[in-house]
Structure 1
Amino acid sequence: MSTAQGAQVAFGSTQQDSNLPVEVTSDNLNVNQNDGTAVFTGNVLIGQGQMRLWAPRVLVVYLEDQSGIESLNATGGVTIVSGEDAAEARQADYNVQTGLIEMYGDVLLIQGVNALTGDKMFIDTKAGTARVTGRVKTVLRPESESETE
């Protein structure tokens, strides 16, 4: 077991193109034309390329000219999967324009048999990397141990 203040890791099997379409599926949708937002609730699933995000509630903020999505704010327990990697947290903010995701609140990152926890995780979808900060803890399993499980 090791403890550190920050850890840089790969995230996802490929780099993500933030220009790909964002597909949103949910049980309910409320649109506010006045401030250019939409709130998706109930089994929300968001897909973009190889990445999938699940949450009970997602606020979508559209670009000022309504030509696309500026950002997503997912709350109520969030799971993000990209390739073989999965991350969980209480909340996540995704800036679709920059491709940066900030996850916070009991962050858990799972990569194969290895797990990493922390207070916050910053995912750069364009670079395919993540950085976990705030009382980071990981358990690294020797390859020989993981092969016997």
Structure 2
Amino acid sequence: MMPVPRLMMFVTGLFLVCLPIVSMAQGAQVAFGSSQQDRNLPVEVTADNLNVNQNDGTATFTGNVVIGQGEMRLTAPRVLVVYLAGQTGIESLEATGGVTLVSGPDAAEGERADYNITTGIIEMHGDVLLVQGDNAITGETLFVDTNAGTARVSGRVKTVLQPQARQ
């Protein structure tokens, strides 16, 4: 996978070159990842720092945070983990400061991501970019259903679709 700055430059260049085929809509439904995500798999977190608050059942990871669950990877500068009552498991993850989400061949970027482990729904907000192969979609919000392997982009959506090459 290309580093994030190169990815952004590539997609920006792609937009400039392909402006005539850009389509705009209020929302777009797309697939995300190569298969359904098993949310029962363990969640592995690595980071530079960890602060735990026993009083409110949270843990804050900061600095180069990488979270993995199955084939899905999420990276961010800061992630707040909210535990279930009794600390029997994870309820949700709140990633902020510029987030990258990768699942199989698909990648998404945004300013913030909230992952509800119980429902399997990830919401990304703030200048979201979704890249799937040669295709790119931008919008304000991305909703990923990890159970169904689907995603929906909303909020002034722009899409660049590459036509198939003729043989």
TM-score w.r.t. length of structure 1? 0.96
Corresponding residue pairs, total: 146
Please state if 1:11 is matched with 2:32.
yes
More strand by share: 1
Instruction: Report Cα offsets for 1:78-136 as digits up to 9, x if no partner.
Output: 00000000000000000011100000000000000000000000000010000000100
Give the match for residue 48 of structure 2: 27
Instruction: Report Cα offsets for 1:41-92 as digits up to 9, x if no partner.
Output: 0000000011000000000000011111000000000000000000000000
Offset at residue 144 of structure 1 (A):
1.4
Which stretches in structure 2 are left out of the alignment for 5+ residues? 1-21
Separation of aligned partners in 2, 1:18 and 1:106? 26
Q: Choose from 54, 74, 85 the match for 2:106.
A: 85
Separation of aligned partners in 1, 2:119 and 2:78? 22
SS of the counterpart of 1:92?
Answer: strand
What is the RMSD of the two structures over their aligned residues, measured on CA atoms? Answer: 1.1
More helix by share: 2
Separation of aligned partners in 2, 1:131 and 1:140? 16
Within a 5 Å distance, the mapping from 1:48-87 to structure 2 comes to 48-87=69-108
Separation of aligned partners in 1, 2:161 and 2:40? 35
Offset at residue 143 of structure 1 (A):
1.7
TM-score w.r.t. length of structure 2? 0.86
Give the match for residue 113 of structure 1: 134
Within a 5 Å distance, the mapping from 1:96-111 to structure 2 comes to 96-111=117-132
Separation of aligned partners in 1, 2:161 and 2:84? 42
Separation of aligned partners in 2, 1:65 and 1:29? 20
SS of the counterpart of 1:65?
Answer: helix
Instruction: Report Cα offsets for 1:1-41 as digits up to 9, x if no partner.
Output: 10000000000001001111100000000000000000000
SS of the counterpart of 2:86?
Answer: coil
Amino acid at match of 2:56: D
Which stretches in structure 1 are left out of the alignment for 5+ residues? none
Identity within the alignment, %: 75
